[in-house]
Amino acid sequence: MITQMIKDGYGSKKGLLRYQLHRGFGMLGRYDTFKPKPETSFTRLVFVCAGNICRSPFAEVVAQGKGLSAVSIGLSTRGGDPANPVALAVASERGIPLAQHRSSRVEDFEPQAGDWFVCMEPQQAEKIQVLFPGFPTILLGMCMERPRRPFIPDPFGKSAAYFARCFSWIEMGVETLNDFRATAG
């Protein structure tokens, strides 16, 4: 029972440890530079994850559903891949269509003025800052108030219950960005 709770809540024991580690770093302020800045605004959100087949495409479509301009890219994808089948099914249950999605490579991406890069993991945010210096880069999980989640783990290869949990965190973060846009604009 406890093992299943860990799998559904954190993906694995390793996931639980990574959550605790990143949460601790976040509480110490290590990721404060990846919070949205009230003095800046965005015209487009660029959601970033590893393969661009689970987290970032889900975030993209959720944001678009709120009237936000959004795209998604992957840091380690070959490009052209459809959404992960479990992501597709869990997103569909939530009314989020991912069937038309095809992964996009960071190497093929051209940023525009007003882009905000929204990453799922600290390492991704650090890489984006190197690839696209001068563009605001934030962690989606640092947008949430309670609890802040600087690391939204990759659900690839995990259970549908874990996908649903990750997608709930993504929805909370996107909702906060939508609220941020409303107060900044």
Give the pLDDT of residue 133.
96
- For the entire predicted model, the pTM comes to 0.92
Give the pLDDT of residue 2.
66
Provide the token pair at 150: 């600087």
Distance, in Å, from the CA atom of 166 to the CA atom of 3, rounded to the nearest integer, reads 18
Give the pLDDT of residue 68.
96
Distance, in Å, from the CA atom of 125 to the CA atom of 135, rounded to the nearest integer, reads 11
Q: Are 149 and 15 in contact (CB under 8 A)?
A: no
The answer to whether the Cα torsion of 121, 148, 37, 63 is positive or negative is positive
- Residue indicated by tokens 């490579």: 105
Give the pLDDT of residue 7.
67
Give the pLDDT of residue 184.
59
**Residues of the chain falling short of pLDDT 70:** 1-2, 5-9, 182-185
Give the pLDDT of residue 185.
52
Distance, in Å, from the CA atom of 67 to the CA atom of 61, rounded to the nearest integer, reads 10
Write the pLDDT tens digit of every residue in 142-152. 888 777 888 89
